[in-house]
Amino acid sequence: MKIYPAFFFLLLFLLNCAHAQLPRDCSDASQKLLEAEVQQGNPKAQYLLGTQLLTGQCGRKDSDEGVKLETKSAESGYPPAIHILGVILRKERSIQEAVPFFLGAAQKGFRLAEVDLAFAYGEGSPIKNLPLSYAWFSVAESHEEKAELKQFLASNLKMLAGKMGDADMEKANQLKEKLLSDFGSIPRFKDDP
């Protein structure tokens, strides 16, 4: 299951490159506009420039500055930045430190964070909890609109169900109902009106 978090991180990056109104290309004019928006305190611009710096997308890679920008954006409550800080913590420190960031992003309707929470508790994780993983996959699957991703999530649910006994399955269904109650009505984060 370790390949799937990388798949979803790539999907996150591609989805977040689709933001409207702020430039995402690497032209000098676009970079100046983006940097001006960062100076104005625009959390979306902070996130986009931070992501560029973290990945080296526009030729300049500066992880320290990228993390600073993502942190500023997250402190403003911007869900993609909250989530990306969780991804960084998962990669560089521990999944335990990442979980609160994924949870914070999920509480703001950032659906990819639900998937990261499912994987956080999945097979091979130091905080393995298959019933909780199942519950988060259920929440993510209930929110997903794209058929191919919904199918992917459903296959993970089926795989997890096959690994749990009756008692764990009962616990998983109770957790699922609780999470659906808590997260089911949170509107999907939409960056642009």
Within-domain flag for 188:
no
pLDDT computed for residue 1 by the predictor: 44
Within-domain flag for 192:
no
Contact 108, 74 (CB under 8 A): no
Within-domain flag for 30:
yes
Cα 36–chain centre separation: 26
pLDDT in tens, 103-136: 999 999 999 999 999 999 999 999 999 999 999 9
Q: What angle do CA 18, 20, 22 make, to 5 degrees?
A: 105
Count of the separate structural domains present in the chain = 1
Q: What is the mean pLDDT of the segment spanning 39-47? A: 95
pLDDT in tens, 56-94: 999 889 999 999 999 999 999 999 999 999 999 999 999
pLDDT computed for residue 10 by the predictor: 44
Look at the pTM and tell me if it is higher than 0.75: yes
Within-domain flag for 190:
no
Within-domain flag for 25:
yes
Within-domain flag for 189:
no
Within-domain flag for 54:
yes
Residue 122 sits in a domain of what CATH number?
1.25.40.10
Please state, in angstroms and rounded to a whole number, the distance separating the CA atoms of residues 169 and 20.
42
pLDDT computed for residue 20 by the predictor: 42
The span from the first CA to the last CA of the chain, in angstroms, equals 35
Is the pLDDT at 192 greater than 60? The verdict is no
pLDDT in tens, 2-36: 444 544 444 444 444 434 478 778 899 999 999 99
DSSP-assigned letter for residue 25: S
Q: Print the domain residue range for 46.
A: 3-183
Within-domain flag for 161:
yes
